[in-house]
Amino acid sequence: MRDLTGRLDLCCINTATLGHREPIERIAERVARAGFGFVTPWRHEIDEKRPQAAAAAIRAAGLKLGGYCRTTYLSADDAAGRREAIADNQRAIEVAAELGAPFLVAVVGGLAPHSSDAVAGRGHILDGIAALRPTLRACGVRLALEPLHPFYAADRSLLSTLAQAVDWCEQLDDGGPPCIGIALDAYHVWWDPALSASIARAGPHLLALHVCDWLRTTRDPLLDRGMMGDGVIDLRALRAAAEATGFAGPVEVEIFSQADWWTRDPDDVLATCSERLQRFC
Amino acid sequence: MRDLTGRLDLCCINTATLGHREPIERIAERVARAGFGFVTPWRHEIDEKRPQAAAAAIRAAGLKLGGYCRTTYLSADDAAGRREAIADNQRAIEVAAELGAPFLVAVVGGLAPHSSDAVAGRGHILDGIAALRPTLRACGVRLALEPLHPFYAADRSLLSTLAQAVDWCEQLDDGGPPCIGIALDAYHVWWDPALSASIARAGPHLLALHVCDWLRTTRDPLLDRGMMGDGVIDLRALRAAAEATGFAGPVEVEIFSQADWWTRDPDDVLATCSERLQRFC
């Protein structure tokens, strides 16, 4: 496992961690000043008609792009809705390329609004991902499938476990240049009794490693994530397992915390991230 | 799959569905009057020093025991705490036998209060279950391991998937008379992409099938369960899969619903359960 001591240049801040309260130029400046080497922005922070300005600001701050967040849900009630999602995600892939992001994170979508057929939903999502391959390859961008906590299966993601993500990577392998991988987020997978076995299988597919913590008394599973060290996840073991399979990307902090970290001074949050990454990850 | 039309005698009401607002005698009377054949009570409804009175009232109402809810958590920070949990669960098994319940439902416990080692926690829980086997066999009661939704891994159950429950049943098989099986609750497992494969493996171990529904916009994962038909779970497919493996026990309704069903008239709730079981399960 890599030694992260003093190596914030190997770490990434996902802008969600700071609560999306400032323009990307200002965020990039803060993240760089705190010593981090990477930043992962979200689509609503970027003017997708003119991403060059944001790209230039991030470069000027001395940061690299960790990735780009995230796809529109690929599930929809009808074929027109699914085509629309594909088109929107094609644009996101192009923007990821213009920003210089190595991958677009995919939150694949839950059940379609009027469906309770998870099997059919997963099939539609797989078809949607497959349809993105030509754009991914043309742009030199990968799609990082992110399994989301099973809590979100109905409304956000029918991709729920790391094992399933690896299965999907294998199913989506058409023999062409690799364009699909996995974003592994500790928050979504820490509970999984099959986690070690799945990480071992995931090795060559891992594109991203997201960290935060699961608070023991979590009541709001969406916006009450903990800072590393404040919860129950063994983040060091998770990173060791990922790196043992060959993962060498940045360790990315992504914390959704409406009532706590999003209310704090962004520079203080970044300082805490820095300290906790080195102590707990 | 069995035809449940008009067959409430094959269905069970878990008393949690009525919000634990009345003594077991009164609940049993209501459940029987609504036409159900089985009731599953909780420990705090039973005077465990003298369970005979409750047993007699349930029999007098014409009901059979579906099961008995539930174990004390088997995880604890030290050996003394774990021994105490085992002793408490031994008493629960004896009471289950005195009530005439075929099994005690096991909610196994999450991380010990001061631990974040899920692997060690699972080991302690397995040891605790193993220690209950002599009492189970002496009493002629089984332990129904209930995998809980991964949302509860930290604070309620390190047993999170049906696949894991089947693995545990196999690991706990010491060659003696079978005494450990599985309680499958739709709410906890519906999201699982491996569900069909796991049900096929679970067949001989299935002791209970609990139904309710997952509301699409669930925000409180503990006390906001839906009535069958109000959410996204394909309950008919789940029952068909369970019965295809040989499961022939009652279909049990267990709904925790603080803000909705627990506020309603118990007889109306039972009438709705009856109608929804036949329409959606």
* Contact assignment for A151 to B151 by CB distance below 8 Å: yes
pLDDT digit string (tens) for A148-177?
Answer: 999 999 999 999 999 999 999 999 999 999
Report CA-CA distances (Å) from A114 to A175, A245, B72, B87, B280: 35, 40, 40, 49, 16
Cβ-nearest to A160 among B163, B193, B233: B193
Cβ pair B221, B196 in contact under 8 A: no
What pairing do the DSSP bridges indicate for beta strands A180-185 and A103-106?
unpaired
Q: What's the longest Cα–Cα distance across chain A?
A: 51
Q: Examine residue A257 and state whether it is found in any structural domain, yes or no.
A: yes
Output the pLDDT for position A220. 85
Q: What ipTM did this prediction achieve?
A: 0.95
Q: Examine residue A148 and state whether it is found in any structural domain, yes or no.
A: yes
What single letter denotes the amino acid at residue B170? E
Strands, sheet with B11-14, edge to edge from the N-terminal-most edge strand: B64-65, B38-40, B11-14, B251-253, B206-211, B180-185, B142-145, B103-106, B68-69
Nearest to A214 by CA among B108, B110, B159: B110
pLDDT digit string (tens) for B49-86?
Answer: 999 999 999 999 999 999 999 999 999 999 999 999 99
* pLDDT score of A219 more than 90: no
Q: Examine residue B3 and state whether it is found in any structural domain, yes or no.
A: no
3-state DSSP: chain B helix, strand, coil percent, rounded to 5? 45, 15, 40
* Per-residue pLDDT band at B217 (split at 50, 70, 90): confident
Q: Examine residue A3 and state whether it is found in any structural domain, yes or no.
A: no
pLDDT digit string (tens) for A180-207?
Answer: 999 999 999 999 999 999 999 998 999 9
In the three-class reduction of DSSP (H, G, I as helix; E, B as strand; rest coil), residue B59 is classed as helix
Domain CATH for B95: 3.20.20.150
Structure-token pair, residue B147: 């995998």
Cβ-nearest to A150 among B150, B219, B220: B150
The DSSP symbol for A224 reads: B
CA dihedral A219, A187, B163, B107 (to 10 degrees): -30
What domain range includes position A114?
A: 8-280
Which residues from chain A sit within 8 angstroms of residue B165, using beta carbons?
Answer: none
pTM over 0.90: yes
Q: Examine residue B110 and state whether it is found in any structural domain, yes or no.
A: yes
Structure-token pair, residue A201: 């299988």
Phi-psi region of B51 (alpha: psi -120 to 50; beta: other; left: phi over 0): alpha
What pairing do the DSSP bridges indicate for beta strands A103-106 and B142-145?
unpaired
Report CA-CA distances (Å) from A59 to A49, A202, A224, B34: 19, 31, 31, 70
User: What is the C-alpha separation between B102 and B143, in angstroms, rounded?
Assistant: 9
C-alpha angle B236/B248/B132, rounded to 5°? 115
Q: Examine residue B239 and state whether it is found in any structural domain, yes or no.
A: yes
Q: Examine residue A260 and state whether it is found in any structural domain, yes or no.
A: yes
pLDDT digit string (tens) for A120-140?
Answer: 999 999 999 999 999 999 999
In the three-class reduction of DSSP (H, G, I as helix; E, B as strand; rest coil), residue A109 is classed as strand
Q: Examine residue A2 and state whether it is found in any structural domain, yes or no.
A: no
| Count: domains in chain A | 1
pLDDT digit string (tens) for B18-47?
Answer: 999 999 999 999 999 999 999 999 999 999
Which residues from chain B sit within 8 angstroms of residue A111, using beta carbons?
Answer: 216, 232
B157 interfaces chain A, CB cutoff of 8 Å = no
